[in-house]
Amino acid sequence: MAKLSAHPPALLRISRAQNVTDPSRAVVWERDSQAYLGDGVRLDKCDRRWTGETRTQTDGWKRRGTGKGQVSPLVRAASALLAAQAQGWVVEHVEPQVVDAARDLQVLRDRNRQAGA
C-alpha cells in the first residue's frame, strides 16, 4: 500500500462517488479517488460501503503509474483535470499552477482543432 506522505504534495486530487444499484453486488456505495503527485506518481483508492453496513471500507492508496519521462507531472495533472471535469469527477484539491497549465492546455487543444477543421 502506498502512502501519500511518502511523496511530494498532491498537485490534484479528484474523486467520483456513486450508489450501486446492481442487486447482484453486495456493495451499495463506492467512491474512486485519484491523486496526482508532484513526482509524477498517480495513486488510486477505492472506498466501499457494503449492504447492511454503516462503515466505509477502503482499499488504501495503490500506486497506479508514473509519468513518462517526457511529460512533466504538472502537464499530466492538468490533462487529468480537463478529463475529470469532462467526465463529472469532483475536484477535491488542485494547486493553482495546475489550473493555469490546464487553461493553457485547453487553449492549445482548441487551436489544434481549429487548424485541423
Determine what percent of the chain is predicted with pLDDT higher than 70: 97
Q: What is the pLDDT of residues 37-90, one digit of tens each?
A: 998 899 999 999 998 888 899 989 999 877 667 788 999 999 999 999 999 999
**What pTM does this model have?**
0.85
Long-range contacts from 60-66, C-beta under 8 angstroms, 24+ separation = 60/1, 60/2, 61/1, 61/2, 61/3, 61/4, 61/35, 62/1, 62/2, 63/2, 64/34, 65/41, 66/39, 66/40, 66/41, 66/42
